[in-house]
A = this chain, B = another copy of it.
Amino acid sequence: MAAPAMETFTLEEIVLPNTSNMAAPAMETFTPEEIPDLEKSSQAERAQWVLNAPEPPGPWRELIHSVRETLLGPCGNKLLALKNQPGPEQVVLFLQGIFPILVWCRSYSVTKFKNDLLAGLTIASLCIPQSIGYATLAKLDPQYGLYTSVVPPLIYAVMGTSREIAIGPVAVVSLLLPSMIQKLQDPVADPVSYTKLVLTATFFAGIFQTAFGLFRLGFLVDFLSHAAIVGFVAGAAIVIGLQQLKGLLGISHFTNKTDVISVGEAVWRSVHHHWSPYNFILGCSFLSFILFTRFLGRRKKRLFWLPAIAPLLSVILSTLIVFLTRADTHGIKIVKHIKGGLNPSSLHQLQLDGPQVGEVAKAGLVVAVVALTEAIAVGRSFSSIKGYNIDGNKEMVAIGFMNVIGSFTSCYVATGSFSRTAVNFSAGCETLVSNIVMAITVIISLQLFTRLLYFTPIAILASIILSALPGLIDLSAAYNIWKIDKLDFLTCIAAFFGVLFVSVEIGLLVAVAISFAKIILISILPGTETLGRIPGTDMFCDINQYPMASKTSGVVIIRVKSAVICFANANIIKESIMRWVTEDQAEDTKLANVKGHNIYKLVILDTSGLMDVDTSGIASLQELHKNLTSHGIELAIANPRWQVIHKLRLANFVSKIGGRVYLTVGEAVGAAAPDAERANIQA
């Protein structure tokens, strides 16, 4: 106990003098030799610890390590555990790893099934009309939406790790897919080959998603920052809403573009020529009905099912109305024939050769990332409510696999739908069985009820999609981003307007670009802050952040505000440090005539926050040292990181500054003013 006590006492000796206005003897500069033995031993020792740190891992090792960090998911230790298991159990564990259903089905019970059944039927009733609507949004025949609500949910049910997520077609993907594919093939001119391209894109999307999962590239999904997603989804919601005007106004000639201006023009043109008010009236009335039920559902939690089945109700009602009044003869646009029956195979429709395959693959990649982002965002947000963890990489494999199989069975890209997942959750689902129930329900309706949907007005589908959009525009999130991080908000806004006024992909691209530009900016933004001692500690902190921090006379302690001293900011940092010193010097010399001291003898560079310094950075540090020396000022380095001190040592910078490298700013200050300590020891 004694030794450390003494050590720390001597430590205090170093620090305390700087609280009191430093005494005259502290004014000369001190070479390490002059430091009293007792002090020197422990301090020099620590300085040696800094200098003689073991060899840090090389950049490649660093890189490989952090790649491993990135790739080795949380199931890493499971894998380790797996190694120690005997043969058969290994197989079981392995299978359980791929098919989580094997784990949770054991503890499955009748009561759980009751809840899942209820939840399943509820989301089915919401899913059927939405699927048809999203299919039309994706410029596909309605049945493709229903197909997409059959196979993917079933596959996800056995492979997924989330419990609440409801799989199927979603708005954003249904918008993104055509916006990229219709450049290659006009859906109106040749719907068949357009559908083929969409299915091919789905296949590629599935492959990419599976690959991301298998190679644990989950972090790629993170490249869409929270802010970017908020802006992007909000923009997409508005674009989708505009697309629905076609159905709501019963416009026959519409634009293929998605940006506000061209859609606005198209609507404006049509409104002046041919549009049927009946569509509009019918659509709006049911839209208001759906919104009203949602309002009720919000008010009374036990009425959660009402908004859930409202869409189905309005489909049935409107279909009946049209059927009885034969309103389709009065200009009400109707769905007409929906092909019934189970998912047909679409293996032969995939076009994996030909000139367009590259473009289609690119579209697949973009959709894959967006779909994964939504699915994982949905999954995480609900799993964190129930307090369990979902494995991002495993999720990707599941979603990817379901989309690959989907592309073989006439499904387009499916993912986790936020609106339906929310319903599923509030309907009290227990496991993914609710998805199975939903899928079966859709199968039944595909077999029996499709021809009943003949008279369903398109305006209703539009109003159903419209009713789902407000949930996508998250103003409070946007406000939070604005409140917390203005630059993040810029990303958000850029994504929003990019989607709105240019195109969906451009919006995404701009958002990602800005996000990374921001990182560069923050990392190299030059700037320095002077540190002062926090009373009662030997901490030295930014005197702007801590006004109570006390400056140490004769010493200027500077911390660089950027993470790296590199080619881009090294010179500016050097010059601003020189300015700190020289300008203060200028002032102080005026004072000097009065007080007789208070001129800097030492500049301490606190490098604790410095991640890296490159050769340009070291070069300008050496220039800084030269310039300081010409002003008769010494340079000391405090608390350098592993890589930094290693590089400085390699560049012989340490020896150049006379080995003035210390573990803490406190010790650097102390080393400069030992006499003051002696004074304190006597005191």
Contact = CB atoms under 8 A, between A and B. Distances in A.
A292 B442 CA distance: 90
8 contacts: A5-B12, A77-B582, A219-B569, A226-B615, A487-B614, A519-B524, A522-B523, A522-B611
Interface string A561-580: 11110111111100110110
A656 to B, nearest CB: 13
Number of copies: 2
A209 to B, nearest CB: 17
A571 B46 contact: no
A414 interface: no
Interface string A618-654: 1100010011001000000001011000010011000
Interface stretch (A66-74, A89-97, A162-170): A66-74
Contact of A4 (B19, B70, B389, B544): B19
Contacts of A535: 4, 7
B619 A663 contact: no
Given A42-B536, A527-B69, A561-B611, A519 B566 contact: yes
A612 interface: yes
A523 B534 contact: no
A520 interface: yes
Interface centre among A76, A516, A618 (most CB of B within 10 A): A516
Interface stretch (A54-62, A239-247, A267-275): A54-62
A8 B4 contact: no
Interface string A477-499: 00011011111100000000000
A117 interface: no
A130 B566 CA distance: 35
A316 B58 CA distance: 55
Interface stretch (A198-206, A545-553, A589-597): A545-553
A544 B384 CA distance: 34
Shortest Cβ-Cβ A-B pairs, 8 listed: A563-B563, A225-B567, A7-B536, A523-B523, A226-B616, A545-B642, A609-B609, A59-B486
A383 to B, nearest CB: 10
A63 interface: yes
A338 to B, nearest CB: 41
B77 A219 contact: no
Interface of A: 1, 3-5, 7-9, 11-12, 15-16, 19-20, 42, 46, 49, 53-54, 56, 58-60, 62-63, 65-66, 69-70, 73-74, 76-77, 218-219, 222-228, 380, 384, 387, 389, 392, 480-481, 483-488, 515-516, 518-520, 522-527, 534-539, 541-542, 544-548, 561-564, 566-572, 575-576, 578-579, 582-583, 586, 608-609, 611-612, 614-616, 618-619, 623, 626-627, 630, 639, 641-642, 647, 650-651, 663-664, 667, 680, 683
Contacts of A639: 539, 541
Contact of A219 (B49, B387, B547, B568): B568
Contacts of A515: 566-568
B226 A56 contact: no
A377 to B, nearest CB: 10
Nearest to A536: B7
A54 B515 CA distance: 28
B578 A611 contact: no
B545 A484 contact: no
B53 A546 contact: yes
Contacts of A567: 222-228, 515
A523 B611 contact: yes
Given A219-B571, A563-B563, A77 B544 contact: no
Contacts of A545: 53-54, 56, 641-642
A473 to B, nearest CB: 17
B520 A516 contact: yes
